Amino acid sequence: MGSGPLCSPLVDQALVKEVGGSAWDQVAAFGGGAGCWRAALLVCCQGEGSGPDAPFSPGLNHRLFFPQRNSIQTSKYNVFTFLPLNLFEQFQRVANAYFLFLLILQLIPEISSLSWFTTVVPLILVLAVSAAKDAIDDVVRILSLQTPPIKMWFSSSLKDDLWLNVEVGDIIKLENNNFVTADVLLLSSSEPHSLTYIETTELDGETNLKVKQALTVTAELGEDLACSLPAGEIKCEAPNNKLDKFMGTLLFKGEKYALDNEKMLLRGCTIRNTDWCFGLVIFAGPDTKLMQNSGRTTFKRTSIDRLMNFLVLVIFVLLAAMCSVLAIGNSIWEYKRGSAFQVYLPWPHDVHSAFYSAFLMFWSYVIILNTVVPISLYVSVEIIRLGNSFYIEWDRKMYYPLNDTPAQARTTTLNEELGQIKYIFSDKTGTLTQNIMVFNKCCINGKIYGRASTPKVDFSYNPLADPKFSFYDQSLVEEVKAGDVITHKFFRLLSLCHTVMPEEKKPGELVYQAQSPDEGALVTAARNFGFVFRARTPETITVVEMGKTIVYKLLAILDFNNVRKRMSVIVRRPDGRVTLYCKGADTILYELLHPSCVPLKEETTEYLEEFAGEGLRTLVVAYKDLERKSFANWQKRHHEASTALQDREEKLSELYEEIEKDLILLGATAIEDKLQDGVPQTIETLGKAQIKIWVLTGDKQGTARGGDDTLLSAPPKNSWRLILPPSEVHPRILCDVTGREEQRRELELELVRTACLCKVVICCRVTPLQKAQVVELVKKYKNAVTLAIGDGANDVSMIKAAHIGVGISGQEGMQAVLSSDFSFAQFRYLQRLLLVHGRWSYIRMCKFLAYFFYKNFAFTLVHFWYGFFSGFSAQTVYDEWFITLYNMVYTSLPVLGMSLFDQDVDDRWSLQFPQLYMPGQQNLYFNKKEFVKCVLYSVYSSLVLFFIPYGTLFDSLRSDGKAIADYQSFALMAQTCLLIVVSVQMGLDTAYWTAVNQLFIWGSLAMYFAITFTMYSDGTYLIFTGSFPFVGSARNTLNQPNVWLSIFLCVTLCVLPVVGFRFLKVQLKPTISDQVRPPPPGKVLLGGGCLPLSGGTRGGTRRCPHSASACFCDASCHPRGQVTPAICG
């Protein structure tokens, strides 16, 4: 498909002159004649305040003669720029830049204290992993742009061309299943009334089909429009990122027509169930709305991230301090004792003073002690987060089979934050409820229907009735059959006042495509009571009223928005009468009623309160017969406003207010939206975990109160609720506050303080912006982690404002899911996400950080103590190959194994005892205090690891009388003690053993001995002479009993304080986690007594990372036996 441009996009000087003094943003002028087309694009990007007399934009000429093409670049690199650009990006990271700096230092002979490979090998490994990931991502982006060619008009015929050659003004033909490659104005299609069905999965994530409809004036041209389309002109807004809005006008056959989003096919859509359609390209390439939305999103950081960044800075300070101490020691030592060693250890030729020697030693120790700054910390953290994200997606208990929706971790950087949530902000409709609307009750002319306990109404008399619809009040059917005028007006309004599109796949089988479930429910109700909405065109609405087909002329649609909170349609009946039908919120419509409706309004209000008390969603409906003369004047002004490019929405709003007044009240509707399964139980469980829940809903206060009773399955007797009415909260707190800044802060603080005393807070009548403001308010005044959960586009701002955003894939599309960090199909899965996956992720990350810093400090501080016994000469304790492999090979897999598989209790008990979640909220498992403890323990361990081998080998002899008190034996013994100690410490920190943990921990230890004996063997030395200087050390040292006795002593002295401290802590001051622990096999401990398990014991669970689903295995390999926990009194 596709061809080159129809003709050269040239614009005559008259047109250029005219555009230079106009106020519109973009024009596509096209004309026809003898099958020849001409197209041109003019763009004038206006700033604020530009108007009809705005000066001609200097950049306009370029866009006149060089229209925007459809080519875009989503890749970051090419073959030649990948290596330099990727390396440049990676060295923007502080850790990578730091190790590059170390590598440069190692190239300076005067200060080089380690071989270059000790830094190069880990650095290259980190860079290679990141580069491979970036390369794969870039290749995927390039492949995603490979689309088939499209058909374009060229010289009165269709020709194929690449989509990237499409230009603004081109006419393209799209066929079924074609991908829309530019933003085009729909001109005509093969479907009746020029309807075009599209799928917008790539655009907004929604899988349900949407309907677009061309203007009648262009739809009449059909498929052969190239030879029949007369001259025309399109003026529209400048390119922007608003997917749901488009503003433009079409000047065609001397008439001006308004263009909106319903007539646009945006890039990213796919044509479905439509044989063909034609469109005029309006925006191309980077100007398309899809590309305009490709900007960077806000990057969320967890509290663990912020803590790690702070601790890395602290570690840099400690490194500088240690190097300074050793440098000062070197200066003192050289000044007092160095001269005695000048005979056989002379200074280098460029060193002439003790001060200069200390300066060089400072940088030499920076190289030696660099391991205290963990180069692999951030890479390891990302691997752990990725693994825990897979567990969320593999969890079959968070899979919803009815619509085949698994849980999704849409980000891998926030897992542990799920274990620290204190406040949950939830939408109500579609999040807590099913968002499946059912017409439950109604009030017509002061009489209520649907309250009677009668059998289900039989709609068999209506051949077009929906068999799934249910209603339980036969009297309403009798009123309709009797021809009651008000009742007929009521259902006529429901069948006309909407934006639903009907689809009749089979005769009599109607399917309604509704933008909201509420509209679908109301139209379906009207259908069953004899007012069947059958068809819609841009100018007409066809309704079958009690078996009689009536075609209404659609004169205007007064759109709904969050400010108006109502919508209206104006139609002309076959008898010529013009009527306005309106539906909306009661608080809004009551202000628009005619004074004569006051008695009926009061009566209707009573019923509305009854409906709201039952948690039903209510709407008020009203109508108004319009005078022809006054309406004609209004319609003229409405047309002018709807075709204006400047302030169109404001002008239309004023006209809507003008005509929507003195309405006649008909009644009200009540729609039921049932709670999802498990919502009350989930809220109760989360409450036990001390998680506060705020429900932010657009419902009226009565509905919010009614829903509150349903949400709380068993509220305590002394519970109370704080309802935030709009009249009190919105103007003074959530919107801009007039007056002093101090007063505003006091009001905000008082609101948060009072609301946080409540277990559940219901905020009613809130707009999408106010939802985000409530979240920001709590974040501002409470040092707590927040989570927002919603299912619709009106929840996106709230989801983005919270620390964690969760999307529900429900009936309102996928906008919330696309903006979220995690998503699933049912609210009840939230408790498992937080109490199981979130808690496990948080505990695992905390254990990882504590162990990671411990092993690195213990490793590095041995060098520090050695400096005091080596004249501060920047000598290393360990073999350089051990230094290189310590973090890469010997200790990397064990810590990853614990961080991916460990769990203190299984998922059942995490849910059964929600109190286990509370330590995460208080950030108890890893914080600055725990870091200090970790450092102090590392200092103690390093002292043991240095002085025990030192004392053991000091003047010691082998069994055959030969001395083993040499540097190589000491280094081998110290590094062996170190690795065994950190491995045993890992075993003590592991609460849940799996085969993988066993393999990683003890396998790494076995690998150390295998590598050590291999590298220190005679054969390796002969092959790689000079590369492995420790030849024979392992064989001569590790065969001595006193060496192994010293190793055992080291391990015992390092581990004993930890074991003793933990034992005393559990006995004297047990935490919540300590109170839930594995009991003896077959027993449950309650209040100090043991009770047998009625159903036997249940083994623990672990996930298999190689499986695409949750794999639950028997935990018989657990070293403590049964892992079923118990509550210990």
Annotated binding site for ATP: 427-429, 519, 560, 583, 617, 697-699, 765, 771, 794-795
DSSP string of 513-580, one letter each residue: E-SSHHHHHHHHHHHHTTEEEEEE-SSEEEEEETTEEEEEEEEEEE---TTT-EEEEEEE-TTS-EEE
Long-range contacts of 514-519 (CB under 8 A, 24+ apart): 516/812, 517/435, 517/436, 517/437, 517/673, 517/811, 517/812, 518/437, 518/617, 518/619, 518/671
Report which DSSP code applies to 957: B
| Largest Cα–Cα separation, the chain | 123
Separation between Cα atoms, residue 697 and residue 702, nearest integer Å: 12
b or e along 73-87 (b: 16 or more beta carbons within 10 Å of the residue's beta carbon)? eebebeeeebeeebe
Instruction: Report which residue type is found at 497.
Output: C
* 638 Rama class: left (phi>0) / alpha (psi -120 to 50) / beta: alpha
Instruction: Report which residue type is found at 168.
Output: V
CB 569 within 8 A of CB 497: yes
Separation between Cα atoms, residue 364 and residue 109, nearest integer Å: 10
Separation between Cα atoms, residue 115 and residue 1070, nearest integer Å: 49
Nearest to 667 by CA among 437, 948, 893, 479: 479
Residue bearing tokens 């104005």:
185
CB atoms within 10 A of CB 1032: 12
Q: Across-strand partners of 165?
A: none
What angle do the packed helices 679-688 and 701-711 form, to 10 degrees?
A: 80
Output the CA angle 771-774-777, nearest 5 degrees: 150
53 as an active site residue: the answer is no
Separation between Cα atoms, residue 943 and residue 939, nearest integer Å: 6
Q: What residue numbers does the annotated binding site cover?
A: 427-429, 519, 560, 583, 617, 697-699, 765, 771, 791, 794-795
What angle do the packed helices 967-989 and 1041-1068 form, to 10 degrees?
A: 30
**Non-local CB neighbours of 353 within 8 Å, separated by 6+ positions:** none
Structure tokens at 1111: 């794999």
**Non-local CB neighbours of 359 within 8 Å, separated by 6+ positions:** 327
Q: How far is CA 1065 from CA 593, 721, 938, 1125, in A?
A: 71, 40, 20, 19
Structure tokens at 1126: 């118990």
Structure tokens at 423: 């406040």
Structure tokens at 650: 């404001």
β-pair type (785-790, 421-426): parallel
Nearest to 787 by CA among 204, 302, 433, 405: 302
CB 269 within 8 A of CB 888: no
Structure tokens at 38: 């001409």
Length of the chain: 1129
β-pair type (438-444, 664-672): antiparallel
Candidates 427, 466, 473, 708; catalytic one: 427
Structure tokens at 529: 């009571």
CB 115 within 8 A of CB 380: no
Task: Indicate the burial class of 468 (C-beta count within 10 angstroms; 0-12, 13-18, 19 or more).
Answer: exposed
Q: For 450, how many CA atoms within 13 A lie in the half-sphere containing its CB?
A: 20
Active site residues: 427
